Copies of this chain bind each other. A is one copy, B any other.
Amino acid sequence: MTLEFDPIEEAAANWRSAGWGAIDAMTAATSITRAHQILSGRIDAALAPLGLNFSRFEVLALLSFTREGKLPLGKVGDRLQVHPASVTNTVDRLEADGYVRREPHPSDRRTTLAVLTAKGRSRAERGAAALADIEFGVAGMGARARAETDQAILELRSAAGDFV
C-alpha cells in the first residue's frame, strides 16, 4: 500500500527524537530489509508459473554452471550460503519435481551429489529468462544505483568474512 510519507524517513526522525543511536545504520538495515521484501516477492511471483521460487531456481542455476551438472550437497550449501537443512529441503522438492536426482558420491560414502536432469536444465534456462525479464525484481533502480549497492554491500560481505 502506498503511504503519504516515507516510512523509513519517518522512522529516522522518530529514532532521532527518541535520542537513540546509530541512525545511519538503522536506515541502511531497514532499507535493505525492505528491498529484500520487494525483490523476493517479485522474483517468486515471476518463477511461480514455472513451479519454482528463488531458492529452487538458484540450485538449478548453480548445478547448470558446473561441467557435469552435479555437485555435493554440502558444496551447494557453501556456494549459495544457505544452511544444510535448507539444501536438503530444496533438493527434496526439486527431486520430487524431477528437476534433480540424488546420486552417491563415487568415493566418499558420506557425500551425496545433486545431479541436474535435462528437465531441470531446461527449467533453469526458462527461469533465467523470466528473471531477466523482470530485472531480477530490481526494476525501478537505475544502473548506477545497482552498481553502488553492489559495491556498498561488498564491504559488508567482506567484513562478514564471506570470502578472502
Contacts and interface: CB of A to CB of B under 8 A. Distances in A.
A145 B152 contact: yes
Given A24-B146, A29-B136, A35 B153 contact: yes
A33 interface: yes
Number of copies: 2
B2 A162 contact: yes
Nearest to A148: B148
Contact of A146 (B7, B27, B65): B27
A68 interface: no
A3 B132 CA distance: 27
Contacts of A151: 145, 148
Interface of A: prevailing SS = helix
Closest 7 CB pairs of A and B: A140-B159, A145-B152, A21-B132, A25-B136, A29-B136, A22-B132, A14-B65
A96 interface: no
A73 interface: no
A5 B158 CA distance: 11
B31 A33 contact: no
Interface of A: 1-8, 10-11, 14-15, 17-18, 20-22, 24-40, 43, 54, 61-62, 64-65, 78-81, 125, 128-129, 131-132, 135-143, 145-164
Contacts of A143: 24
Nearest to A13: B65
Nearest to A3: B163
Contact of A149 (B28, B37, B40, B64): B28
